[in-house]
């Protein structure tokens, strides 16, 4: 007897259906390969620095160097970034290809990009491209991909750099002797720390005085870091032991014993060109966040009388002055804004000496107690014939 055919469900793309929505590395942890790390930096420094741009859940620095002779490592992060500067070094960040956390990440991101490419965004990108090309033509700097030199031109010693454009020179370096030791006299009695925000930085002298902490000099190190130089080591150790007090001001605080810190500074940015219909503080903050971590958000208000420029404070990791432009895409229009850094160095108001405060008794209360004791002595003399004993305990 011949049995009839039986319909069987298709098994095509079974694996894809199983993994749909369960791609590892998305929404969880992404591991990055980081190269060109500064010499002498530690895991703690790398994690804290990259923590400005998202949550760091793990980091590792290799003992050996890469093929270019630079330090490298890995950092588990929740947000992609590249081109971030750490001190004078511009980090090169790429997704670690062989990490199990990143399986399927590239494919999912490409799908997400294609999904969000709606007609309005395409129009905005086209207008932005046209605006850039127009500005380049106005400035006389039109770029052509074929401007590169041929092999024969290179042999003839020609340069690909236009005579009117100055190429960025390579960083010079010097060898500092190993026996150089700065501020040796304050080692072990000074505290080095990083405050939680800019408000705590500016109010540090006031906060120390309110908590009866004195006998020190406040020295600004840069960024959000302060050096508390105590006159007596015992006072420094005493404050360090009160973590329940200083943890309200500092994210980290430790005895300074010559350890180095990564360079950072506070930069104040002026933002011009934001149209009045988009002039809200969130837009100014978004523009400023392209250049560093915001430590003082925009506080623009029409009641100030001037809404033509916004002011935002950011934390940056290099010494180059900010002078850039950012295009703002809104509906199907593109607006250009200009960002310039305020000239001059900034120093918080907390810098200076904090005197050591001594608890003083109330003078009026002391006078009243003395008068009361004199009356008691007089009464006792009248009762025992002028002879009495007086025991006064002073605490």
Q: In this predicted model, what pLDDT tens digit does every residue of 57-90 receive, in sequence order? A: 888 888 888 888 888 888 887 655 666 677 677 7
Sorting pLDDT into bands at 50, 70 and 90, what band is 385? very low
Q: How confident is the model at residue 310 (pLDDT cuts 50, 70, 90)?
A: very high
Q: What is the pLDDT of residue 392?
A: 44
Q: What percent of the chain has pLDDT over 90?
A: 33
Cα separation, 190 vs 203, in Å, equals: 19
Helix (H, G, I), strand (E, B) or coil at 272: strand
Instruction: Name all contacts of 256-261 with Cβ < 8 Å and 24+ positions apart.
Output: 256/186, 256/187, 256/188, 256/190, 256/191, 256/192, 256/227, 257/187, 257/188, 258/181, 258/184, 258/187, 259/192, 260/40, 261/45, 261/192, 261/221, 261/222, 261/225
Per-residue pLDDT, averaged over 200-204, amounts to: 92
Tokens of 29: 């942890």
> CA-CA distance, 256 to 205, in Å (whole number)?
19
CA distances from 284 to 312, 331, 344, 351 (A): 7, 18, 22, 29
pLDDT at 123: 56
- Rounded to 5 degrees, φ, ψ at 48 are -70, -40
Q: What are the percentages of helix, strand and coil residues in the chain, rounded to 5?
A: 30, 25, 45
By three-state DSSP, how is residue 207 classified?
A: helix
Task: Flag whether the pTM goes above 0.95.
Answer: no
- Mean pLDDT, rounded, of the chain: 75
**Best CA proximity match to 349, nearest among 187, 210, 202, 166:** 202
Residue 283 pLDDT exceeds 50: yes
Q: Which residues pair with 335 in a beta bridge?
A: 328
Residue 298, φ and ψ in degrees, nearest 5 = -65, 140
**pLDDT value of residue 153:** 55
Q: Please state, in angstroms and rounded to a whole number, the distance separating the CA atoms of residues 85 and 52.
A: 12
Question: To the nearest whole percent, how much of the chain has pLDDT over 70?
Answer: 62
Please report which helix (H) or strand (E) contains residue 205, including its range: helix 204-210
If you average pLDDT over residues 18-41, what whole number do you get?
Answer: 65
Decide if 89 contacts 33 (C-beta within 8 A): no
Residue 163 predicted with pLDDT over 90: no
Query: In this model, does residue 285 exceed pLDDT 90?
Result: yes
Residues 49 and 317 sit within 8 Å (Cβ to Cβ)? yes
CA 250/CA 226 separation, integer angstroms: 10
Residue 341, pLDDT above cutoff 90: yes
Q: Determine which of 26-40, 129-143, 176-190, 378-392 has the lowest per-residue pLDDT on average.
A: 378-392
Mean pLDDT of the region 312-320: 91
Cα gap 73→278, rounded to integer Å: 41
pLDDT tens digit sequence for 84-120: 677 677 777 776 766 655 555 555 555 555 555 555 5
Give residue 383's pLDDT: 46
Closest Cα partner for 228 from 190, 201, 254?
190
Q: What is the mean pLDDT of residues 316-345?
A: 91
pLDDT for 24 equals 42
Model confidence at 193, pLDDT cuts 50, 70, 90, reads: very high
Residue 85's nearest CA partner among 283, 260, 293, 225 is: 293
CA gap 24, 47 in Å, rounded: 23
Distance CA 272, CA 344 (A): 19
> For residue 386, is pLDDT > 70?
no
pLDDT at 296 (0 to 100): 93
Q: For 3-10, what is the mean pLDDT?
A: 51
Of 62, 56, 12, the closest CA to residue 36 belongs to 62
> Rounded to the nearest 10 degrees, how much is the dihedral formed by the CA atoms of 189, 190, 195, 198?
140
Read off the pLDDT of each residue in 321-335 and give the average, rounded to a whole number.
92
CA neighbours closer than 13 Å in the CB half-sphere of residue 388: 17
More confident residue, 100 or 221: 221
């Amino acid at each position: 007897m011949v049995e009839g055919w039986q319909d069987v469900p298709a098994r095509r793309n079974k694996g894809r259906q199983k993994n749909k929505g369960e791609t590892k590395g998305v929404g969880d942890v992404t591991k990055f390969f980081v190269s060109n790390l500064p010499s002498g930096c530690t895991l703690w420094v790398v994690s804290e620095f990259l923590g400005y741009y998202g949550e760091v859940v793990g980091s590792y620095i290799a003992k050996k160097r890469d093929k270019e002779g630079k330090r490298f490592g890995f950092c588990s992060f929740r947000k992609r970034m590249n081109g971030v500067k750490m001190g004078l070094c511009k980090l090169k960040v790429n997704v670690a290809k062989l990490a199990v956390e990143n399986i399927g990440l590239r494919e999912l991101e490409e799908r997400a990009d294609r999904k969000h490419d709606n007609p309005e965004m395409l129009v905005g990108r086209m207008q932005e491209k046209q605006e850039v090309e127009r500005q380049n033509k106005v400035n006389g700097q039109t770029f052509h991909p074929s401007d590169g030199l041929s092999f024969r031109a290179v042999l003839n010693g020609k340069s690909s750099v236009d005579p009117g454009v100055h190429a960025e020179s390579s960083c010079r370096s010097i060898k500092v002797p190993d026996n150089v030791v700065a501020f040796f006299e304050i080692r072990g009695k000074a505290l080095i720390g990083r405050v939680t925000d800019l408000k705590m930085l500016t109010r540090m002298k006031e906060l120390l005085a309110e908590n009866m902490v004195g006998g020190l000099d406040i020295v600004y190190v840069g960024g959000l870091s302060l050096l508390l130089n105590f006159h007596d080591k015992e006072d420094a150790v005493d404050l360090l032991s009160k973590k329940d007090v200083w943890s309200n001001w500092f994210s980290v605080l430790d005895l300074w014993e010559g350890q180095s810190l990564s360079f950072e500074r506070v930069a104040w940015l002026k933002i011009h060109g934001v149209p009045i219909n988009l002039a809200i503080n969130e837009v100014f903050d978004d523009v400023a966040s392209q250049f560093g971590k915001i430590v003082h958000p925009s506080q623009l208000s029409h009641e100030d009388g001037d809404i033509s420029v916004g002011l935002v404070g950011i934390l940056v990791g290099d010494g180059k002055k900010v002078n850039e432009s950012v295009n703002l895409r809104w509906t199907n229009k593109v607006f250009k804004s200009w960002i310039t850094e305020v000239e001059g160095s900034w120093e918080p108001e907390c810098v200076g000496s904090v005197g050591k405060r001594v608890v003083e008794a109330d003078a009026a209360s002391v006078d009243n107690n003395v008068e009361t004791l004199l009356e008691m002595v007089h009464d006792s003399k009248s009762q025992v014939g002028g002879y009495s004993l007086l025991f006064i305990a002073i605490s």
